[in-house]
Structure 1
Amino acid sequence: MNTEKTINPPSGYLAFILFLALLAAAIISFVFRAVAAGVIIILVDFIFVLPGLIIVNPNESKLLTLFGKYVGTVKQDGFFWVNPFTVKKKVSLKAFNLNGQQLKVNDSVGNPIEIAAVIVWQIKDTASAIFAVENYLQYVNIQSEAAVRHLANSFPYDNFEDESAHISLRGGAEQVSLLLEKELNERLARAGIEVLEARISHLAYAPEIAHTMLQRQQASAIISARRLIVEGAVGMVEMALTRLSEKNIVELDEERKAAMVSNLLVVLCGDRSVNPVVNTGTLYH
């Protein structure tokens, strides 16, 4: 496989001056009716001098091949003269944005999801990009889609789908992005392409299960909140009983302790405001 070879050709300004001088000489030859000499000068000027002049813009390069053989790549911007018989192909070195289309795939537990990614990439090895693959733009598109599909198949959408999973697509965005970037670099290295950044731009359940999974997420959130509320309520009841016992404010038998615990838990764990009832009798009536 050809690898990139950077070359620094001579400046094109001297060649351009030579082109103008030969052109002037050809005109003078025609004026003095030296037609044969003028034709030869014109042929030399337009076959050997002018075709060798190239302009390389910033963040661009010119890849040169001579009769099917790779000569090198001019990466320095400026005005140059190269072998006029070389085939010159412009290759951009700018960063490209690939806004991937939404893909419908299954996550690691089989749930259908929609996922898309934004990828920033650029060419690092011009020879590999041109000679190693048929069309590097199409190659990037296809390999990016394959990498996103593989990533989605490797992790669950959320942790509550697979509690043993350390990384989820929704909860581990940074880790998922790094894994995607690493896999893309491995896949695109053959084409001499470097991925600068890869991010998940869209992630959602497929429409046919979105409503059901939303209800499940809401139920899971409610259960988690209730668990936290109960743990806090139990701690507050324990603290209340301990403080009442330490301060000798009131002595409660087991039955009244149970009633107090029940009332406090109802008050602390309820989802509505309580309406206190004042007992004007004794503790037992």
Structure 2
Amino acid sequence: MVERIDSMTPSSESRGNAYNGYFMLVLLLVLLLSPVLLLIAAAPKGAVVASAVFAAVSLVFILIGFFMIQPNQAVVLTLFGEYRGTVRKDGLHWVWPWFGNEKVSVRAHNMHSERVKINDLRGNPIEIACNVVWRVADTAQAVFDVDDYKEFVNIQIEAGLRTVGSRHPYDSMSEDDETTLRGSADVVNRELIVELNERLHVAGITVDEAGLTHLAYAAEIAGAMLRRQQADAVISARRKVVIGAVGMVEDALEKLAADDIVELDDERRAAMVSNLLVVLCGDSEAQPVVNTGTLYQ
């Protein structure tokens, strides 16, 4: 029978207690001066020697317990392997020498990922990279729940980038409101932030900002995709030209009929529409033909 192993219980940051380092520094100076004061006071030689030995031992004992915290830094305290809290207040602090302490930076970190090759929603190979601003929110989780939280962040950023990049196509092949990597940067960036926060929550890491910094088709299909984009642009432009030309022809026919300028039957109306569309949609300038007869000759 295989025994089931329960999932890891997440750590949680708590406040740690440390003594005022400046007070301990004054105490250390007093201990160092005590043998000198006894010598000046003509105390017995044995007392002076004992005071000197005690001051030397105290010097080593007290110096080991000092640690300095700069702004936006924290120190995780442990006692024989047991978590005893986190000190976040900046300044000089002191703890008993048998306490272990590890400094953790809670400042904002900026990381630019490597370019990775993935397949978008349509299976097209693309190259993508991102920039992420992250910070340690829970020092206990960062130190105790993952082996190396910085390396963990690097790996999860790449994994999250691959996940978000494969959800959407690189570009839209129609004019609908489809979310794309190239045209919907705000949406993709928000998805990336949510994805990374979910992945990094186990390590006590919070992502403040994330955004794509590189997006391109892979080299093997870049040329073909460029030609497709150019063709799509030509088709889109032609479509707008034709729609505009049809509107102009319709306005012209309505104006001629409303002002009683000329009366056209269906055949001549069709011919006029054809000629106007050729003139308006053609790439080259139209060559006018002057009709010296009647409209029907």
- What is the TM-score of this pair, normalised by structure 2? 0.89
Question: For residues 164 and 230 of structure 1, what CA distance do their matches in structure 2 show?
Answer: 20
Provide, for residues 134-177 of structure 1, a one-character-per-residue CA deviation record: whole Å limited to 9, x for no partner: 101110010110111111221111121x8888311111111111
CA contact (8 A) 2:77 2:102 kept: yes
Residue 19 in 1 paired to residue 23 in 2? Answer: no
Q: 1:215 aligns with which of 227, 236, 239?
A: 227
Residue 93 in 1 paired to residue 102 in 2? Answer: no
Show the counterpart of 2:58.
44
Give the counterpart letter for 2:292 in structure 1. T
Residue 247 in 1 paired to residue 259 in 2? Answer: yes
Show the counterpart of 2:4.
none
Show the counterpart of 2:166.
153
Show the counterpart of 1:9.
18
- What is the TM-score of this pair, normalised by structure 1? 0.93
Computed over aligned residues only, the root mean square deviation of the Cα atoms, in angstroms, reads 1.9
Show the counterpart of 2:127.
114
Identity of aligned residues (%): 51
CA contact (8 A) 1:8 1:76 kept: no
Give the counterpart letter for 1:103 in structure 2. V
CA contact (8 A) 1:63 1:91 kept: yes
Q: 2:139 aligns with which of 126, 150, 154?
A: 126
Structure 2 unaligned residues grouped into runs of 5+: 1-9
Return the offset for 1:279.
2.6
Give the counterpart letter for 1:5 in structure 2. S
Give the counterpart letter for 2:49 in structure 1. V
Return the offset for 1:203.
0.5
- Say if 1:30 and 1:282 are closer, same or farther in 2 by CA, change over 3 A: farther
Give the counterpart letter for 1:2 in structure 2. S
Question: For residues 224 and 193 of structure 2, what CA distance do their matches in structure 1 show?
Answer: 32
Q: Is the deviation greater in 137-146 or in 1-10?
A: 1-10
Question: For residues 227 and 35 of structure 2, what CA distance do their matches in structure 1 show?
Answer: 85
Q: Is the deviation greater in 27-36 or in 259-268?
A: 27-36
- Say if 1:8 and 1:272 are closer, same or farther in 2 by CA, change over 3 A: farther
Question: For residues 165 and 251 of structure 1, what CA distance do their matches in structure 2 show?
Answer: 45
Show the counterpart of 2:95.
82
CA contact (8 A) 1:26 1:42 kept: no
Matched length = 283
Show the counterpart of 1:62.
75
